[in-house]
Every structure is written in structure tokens, then in C-alpha cells.
Amino acid sequence: MRRFLIAGNWKMNCGPNETAALLEELKKETPVISENVDVLVCPPFVSLSMSVNHLHDTDIAVGAQNFHFEDNGAYTGEISATMLEESGCNYVIIGHSERREYFGETDEGVNAKTKKALLHKLVPVVCVGESLAQRKDGVHFDLVKNQVTAALEGISSDDVLDVVIAYEPIWAIGTGETASPEQAQEMHAHIRNTIESLYDSETADVIRILYGGSMKPGNAEELLQQNDVDGGLIGGASLDAKSFSQIISAAEKIS
Ligand code: PGA
């Protein structure tokens, strides 16, 4: 039986006031969450602690969108995994394409952060995915395979079971354009095969692979029905409590 993960990536939206309002709405709208579906919201740093407090009596987990791989020190403006742990976070998004594009994140940095997150018992949600130009050039399968391989470098077969991979084709993020269910399934199967070649088939079966890129109520069910799609990393639609809840319901229906 599959256990879905429905994760909201709020990006640079919602300071503490807006977060409080959105979480209240979400609490009202969210259907009863079964053990087959995990639900996660990832607000900005300044809203994390209050999100943990707001959601302590619910089944909704809280995660961060980024962190620095050092524990502390002279890194002005940065936040460490220790701090996230202390704030009550259980997950952290790593290597989102916006961080790779605008903040120079590299595969090596993603690997360092993935290892550090695991050390701190934060579930790493590692993002991979190709640009439109890379897909048109036909290099998308190799690129994603390399991203996954680099992210998991040096991670043991025990630890890797806690890693979540999010496939997010850059051309589908925030564009309203979604990968077709077939395109998503094809890449997810490729990612699972990559994990199998790095570890073994049991490991590959267990690791959750999320789809991200304009997932919304209208397309969630079709995407989540694909064999290798174990959930969604949702940007825009996660900022609307009704939409996010409808996606959770779609996962509940299929699981
Ligand atoms: P989107 O964003 O759902 O707005 O396309 C997804 C993401 O970037 O994680």
C-alpha cells in the first residue's frame, strides 16, 4: 500500500500573520487524514515556530524550505539544521530549482545538506528536475539521474530510506503547465530505477518520489494515480486552503 506525502511549499509567502490565517483555514478545510497520507507545510523561516505551535494538535507536519549545512558560525543570514530541529521542524526542502537558479546551489551542496538533514532527523525533500531547454535537447533523463546520484552520494542504504525525492520539471513550476501523467510517470520510474541501481529494488520501492510543478485540484488525481508518483510538492495551490485540502482528498481517495 502506498503512503502519499502531500507537501506545500509556500516559498517567500506568508509572514506570521498571514501564516496564522492560512493555517486556521487549513485546519477547517483539511479532511480527516488517514495513516496512508502524510501532510506537510513549509512556510518561511520566520513563520516556522508559530506553525509548529498552531499545528501541534493536528496531523500536519512542518518543514523548512532551506538551511545551511554547517551547525553554527559566521554565516550571516543563514539558519542551521540544529535550529530547524529546535523549532520543531520534521522536514526540509533541499535543492529546489529556484535555489539552484537564483542562489547558486550545486549538486555538492545538495548532497552535504541531505546528509546533514538526516543527521538531525529532518526528512530531506530533495528536488531534481530539468529545464525546458534540457528536455528539448533530450538530456533530461541523464540530467535527473546525475542529480539524484550526486544528492545521494555517500548515504547508506539505511539512511536513504528516509529521503524523499521531488521531481519538479522547471518548465512546469509556477507556469500553469503541468507534466502529463505519462511524462511524470516516465521520469518517476527512471528515478526509481536510478535508486535501484545505486542501492537495490527493496530500497527503490520504499523511497517516496513526489511530483511538483503546477499540481492543483484539477490534475492531482490523475498525477497521483501514476504508479511511481507518491505525492506532490505544491507551490501556488498550497497557498489556498481549499485547493490544498482538495489535493489531500485526492490522495486519500487513491491510497
Ligand atoms: P507550483 O510550485 O506548484 O507553483 O508550480 C511547485 C514548487 O516549486 O515546488
- By C-alpha distance, which of 81, 194, 175, 91 is closest to 131? 175
What is the whole-number distance in angstroms between the Cα of residue 120 and the centre of ligand 1? 26
With a 6 Å cutoff on the Cβ, whether 212 touches ligand 1 is: yes
- Pick the residue whose CA is nearest to atom 6 on ligand 1: 235
What is the whole-number distance in angstroms between the Cα of residue 234 and the centre of ligand 1? 5
What is the chain's pLDDT, residue by residue, as a tens digit (255 residues)? Answer: 679 999 999 999 999 999 999 999 999 999 899 999 999 999 999 999 999 999 999 999 999 999 999 999 999 999 999 999 999 999 999 999 999 999 999 999 999 999 999 999 999 999 999 999 999 999 999 999 999 999 999 999 999 999 999 999 999 988 888 899 999 999 999 999 999 999 999 999 999 999 999 999 999 999 999 999 999 999 999 999 999 999 999 999 998
Q: Which amino acid is at 33?
A: I
> Is 120 a catalytic site residue?
no
Tell me which of 105, 130, 168, 190 is the catalytic residue.
168
With a 6 Å cutoff on the Cβ, whether 178 touches ligand 1 is: no
Quote the pLDDT of residue 1: 67
Tell me which of 96, 120, 140, 190 is the catalytic residue.
96
With a 6 Å cutoff on the Cβ, whether 234 touches ligand 1 is: yes
> Which residue of 175, 214, 239 sits with most ligand 1 atoms within 8 Å of its CB, as the best mutation to test the pocket?
214
Superfamily of 4-254 according to CATH: Aldolase class I (3.20.20.70)
What is the whole-number distance in angstroms between the Cα of residue 232 and the centre of ligand 1? 9
Query: Which atom from ligand 1 is nearest to the alpha carbon of 173?
Result: 5
Whole-prediction pTM: 0.97
Query: Which atom from ligand 1 is nearest to the alpha carbon of 233?
Result: 9
Quote the pLDDT of residue 224: 98
- Pick the residue whose CA is nearest to atom 3 on ligand 1: 235
Distances (CA, A) of 12 to 19, 184, 214: 12, 26, 17
Quote the pLDDT of residue 48: 98
With a 6 Å cutoff on the Cβ, whether 240 touches ligand 1 is: no
Quote the pLDDT of residue 175: 86
Residues 9, 96: contact at Cβ < 8 Å? yes
Residue 249: phi and psi, rounded to 5, are -60, -40
> Is 168 a catalytic site residue?
yes
What is the whole-number distance in angstroms between the Cα of residue 205 and the centre of ligand 1? 25
- By C-alpha distance, which of 232, 225, 224, 162 is closest to 199? 162
What is the whole-number distance in angstroms between the Cα of residue 178 and the centre of ligand 1? 10
Residues 92, 67: contact at Cβ < 8 Å? yes
Quote the pLDDT of residue 2: 77
